[in-house]
Amino acid sequence: MDSIVSRLQTIMEHYGHTVSVFADSIGVQRSSVSHVLSGRNKPSLDFVMKLVKTYPEVNLYWLLNGKGSFPAEDKTTSPAPNIIKDTFEVESHQIELDTSKAKRKTSATPIKIFVVYDDGTFEYYHTKSQ
């Protein structure tokens, strides 16, 4: 039976990470990862959320239940993905992004938009080619 332990090992193998590198990358103690991998502890919600925040290509449903795929399929479906819009319509709510460079320390431009659903799943859209 495929377990969360084997899925964590799959993620680490995919990125070529050791336990230490993986723990450091998601911001948890190395012993936390070791204890989860050994079966001593189950991963906490904080552990899982840090993992999917650090690695957005990890499908949360796949990680928790083994259903779905890894890496997650790219949800880029915009007919013109290279166009950056300042206003987005999401479920009848307008979301305005301040893309002006004056408020930013760098000349960064938004490149992804994340849509998080109340069931814990999410999609992301590229706003320009990477």
Would residue 18 count as lying in a domain? yes
What does the mean pLDDT of the chain come to? 76
Would residue 79 count as lying in a domain? no
Would residue 38 count as lying in a domain? yes
More confident residue, 67 or 81: 67
**CATH code of the domain containing 50:** 1.10.260.40
More confident residue, 109 or 76: 109
Cα gap 76→98, rounded to integer Å: 22
Domain identity same for 52 and 98: no
The pLDDT, as a whole number, for residue 97 is 59
The pLDDT, as a whole number, for residue 69 is 84
The pLDDT, as a whole number, for residue 78 is 38
Domain identity same for 10 and 49: yes
At CB < 8 A and 24+ separation, what contacts does 80-86 make? 81/125, 81/126, 81/127, 81/128, 81/129, 82/128, 82/129, 83/127, 83/128, 84/109, 84/110, 84/127, 84/128, 85/127
Number of domains, the chain: 2
More confident residue, 48 or 83: 48
Cα gap 73→118, rounded to integer Å: 20
Would residue 97 count as lying in a domain? yes
Range of the domain at 118: 87-126
Domain identity same for 11 and 50: yes
SS3 34: helix
The pLDDT, as a whole number, for residue 31 is 94
Residue 84 has pLDDT above 50, yes or no: no
Cα gap 86→100, rounded to integer Å: 10
For residues 51 and 58, the answer to whether their CB atoms sit within 8 Å is: yes
Domain identity same for 12 and 45: yes
Give the residue-averaged pLDDT of 90-103: 56
